[in-house]
Structure 1
């Protein structure tokens, strides 16, 4: 399936002519912005116009309570209040009648002559990774499952371009979480939804950005369903570390430069600025570090890495909305990266890559001289 998805980049470097300027005069910082007619997020923001258009079926019988939107189709930004417990509970209350109705429709569908009822009466549940955003990076198996699903539960990091592949008769339900709202109750709701529809014999797909088993809740969802006797099939996705590093031309490992790669979560406890865990050996200069969800904790993380021995001038990059037309990125030495991110005003989702291999990227301002020096060493 051909999915046109082109990128148009506009690069601006402090200096690019390495023959004219010595590398010592260059500042290792650049910002890559993509020219695109689409100004909105490529992902599904909780209060976005796209989200409510997709999920409007859950409000069909509740028009008087339907969230009021004041949206510009171009920007797709809505004047809906920020997340709160009351909004979340109201959202769920609005969805319940239509969800129950859908369950009955699915049960009738499976029991009718035209439907095939599984021997054990249970439907299929798929945990599907949708990659970092570019729909061309989906696996063929993922596309097939997405197109035959009855119900798809999707989160914020599933791109709009991926959701365009969903079949016309399928139902979409947003179950995304946002920073500061990762309650146990919300995850249990997702568990119960998956279970209820599987018991009704439906083909249920849980879509997750990246890979569902890399810093996702896929393992918890799989464990819960298996304990209830529901078979779960996992379709892996290209995790952000692989997809975005490839987009930037950064090898995560490279002979003589990086002999290992480590994935870290940048999440903190209770929304603080300290990362959950940074092992002392994470500061290995011969390893590559990839930090997921690390925007808010990067200043503390960088200090700890330097304290444990990682050189302050270690090449690093931060990439916002990688592999999508809205991709932006900054390159800098580790000691300067947090400041450069702040200057560029990068937002979530942003992936951070730290290590000597970053200097091998053609986008690194000193790439020609740095790459040559690293390979010779």
Structure 2
């Protein structure tokens, strides 16, 4: 048998009996996939791991708390033999052979009639990698190949073109705080499949260079009609390209719904019946402080954090922020888009009771190679911004958590 390669096949196990002998680590790793396949799982083992016991308690498997007995493989379609008793494994394997039940044996692959491939999943596709013969079986090599293929499909570096007609539409993709490695797996995959990308200035720009030549990249900052009409123009561009049957990605910085006007774009698309997928992104309000060594919460220091927009000053009639209430909070205050208004913000917080010596950190170009951190207090932050020439984009963190890190002002690594 070792002279011939294994024949790969996908088993449809929904509602069909699968017998698992043994309740240890091997069973624990294999059971989730069998459960996901809809198999009727009959597990036999005197003892099981806590995770396997939880599966039984949840009704996902049927556990018979005893050793293997002759006849356990009756009516089975597939069997996984993974006990610590070699003699029992041999007897069970023989029963499987007599009953023509395909059988995986964890302790002796040469005596098995089936092998479990290294599997992975990516958006409706299962990747299964199988060693061609028993003589050269190398599970680590097989797993490494599996991981490389799945990672490539997920992050878009391995592009498999769709040959069936794709449903046109728009994906609002949160690109994260700037570092291209911090976009989500799904976001990167959709980006790799796009026909048109409408990108924000604060999105992960490095990813645009990886797009195929046929992809049209539109800079949202340069869409015409002026500042006041910019959002309406972006909405129109999304609608126009989607109506042409194209797959459109709206690549945004951070998360689409955290000061990203994502809902406005979704509503505009919904009004004309264009399907839209929203892919959450890592918000700069949490990730940028983290990259600069600042936890937004810390035991015994801050039990909450509040994220607000600083794009309008506290005394501006358009402001929706309750600054007096924020001044009374003891937790962390994170301000986005507030560099040019920080002087007025600090003044207002102090006027409503926040101590003037409250620590402040400004993290410019967070998570990118240009990241830098500047520290101050509420009393000094306005002058510090001027003298240190702090420019947007920068995340401002106010609170005692600024002093928690081991090295204040540590450079990005």
- 1:365 offset after TM fit, Å? 6.9
Question: Does residue 1:175 correspond to 2:220, yes or no?
Answer: yes
1:326 and 1:272, CA in 2 relative to 1: closer, same or farther beyond 3 A?
farther
2:285 aligns with one of 223, 229, 241: 241
Q: Deviations over 1:125-160 (max 9, x none)?
A: 100111111111111111101111000001111233
8 Å CA contact retained: 1:146, 1:167: no
2:341 aligns with one of 297, 300, 305: 297
Q: Deviations over 1:218-276 (max 9, x none)?
A: 1100111012111111111111112111112211112221111111111127x979966
1:220 aligns with one of 264, 285, 293: 264
- 1:117 offset after TM fit, Å? 3.8
Question: Does residue 1:283 correspond to 2:327, yes or no?
Answer: yes
1:248 and 1:273, CA in 2 relative to 1: closer, same or farther beyond 3 A?
farther
Q: Where do residues 74-153 of structure 1 align in structure 2 (5 Å cutoff)?
A: 116-117=164-165, 123-153=168-198
- 1:343 offset after TM fit, Å? 0.8
2:390 aligns with one of 346, 354, 368: 346
1:194 and 1:263, CA in 2 relative to 1: closer, same or farther beyond 3 A?
same
**Normalization by structure 2: what TM-score?**
0.56
Q: Secondary structure at the match of 1:176?
A: helix
Q: Secondary structure at the match of 2:217?
A: strand
Q: Where do residues 4-19 of structure 1 align in structure 2 (5 Å cutoff)?
A: none
8 Å CA contact retained: 2:176, 2:204: no
Distance 2:210 2:334 in 1: 30
Question: Does residue 1:191 correspond to 2:235, yes or no?
Answer: yes
Runs of at least 5 residues in structure 2 that lack an aligned partner in the other structure: 1-161
Q: Deviations over 1:350-374 (max 9, x none)?
A: 11010111111233279xxxxxxxx
Task: Name the counterpart of 2:55.
Answer: none
Task: Name the counterpart of 2:58.
Answer: none
8 Å CA contact retained: 2:180, 2:205: no
Task: Name the counterpart of 2:33.
Answer: none
1:158 aligns with one of 200, 203, 222: 203
Q: Deviations over 1:315-365 (max 9, x none)?
A: 110111111111122011121112111111011111101011111123327
Higher relative contact order (CA 8 A, sep 6+): 1
Q: Secondary structure at the match of 1:216?
A: coil
8 Å CA contact retained: 1:313, 1:335: yes
1:358 and 1:338, CA in 2 relative to 1: closer, same or farther beyond 3 A?
same
Distance 1:275 1:324 in 2: 30
8 Å CA contact retained: 2:289, 2:363: no
Runs of at least 5 residues in structure 1 that lack an aligned partner in the other structure: 1-113, 367-377
1:200 aligns with one of 244, 267, 285: 244
Task: Name the counterpart of 2:401.
Answer: 357
1:259 and 1:177, CA in 2 relative to 1: closer, same or farther beyond 3 A?
farther
Distance 1:334 1:287 in 2: 15
Question: Does residue 1:330 correspond to 2:374, yes or no?
Answer: yes
Q: Secondary structure at the match of 2:340?
A: coil
8 Å CA contact retained: 1:261, 1:289: yes
Structure whose CA Rg is larger: 2
The 10-residue stretch of structure 1 (189-198 or 155-164) with the greater mean CA deviation from structure 2: 155-164
1:250 aligns with one of 286, 294, 298: 294
Distance 1:365 1:196 in 2: 46
- 1:177 offset after TM fit, Å? 7.0
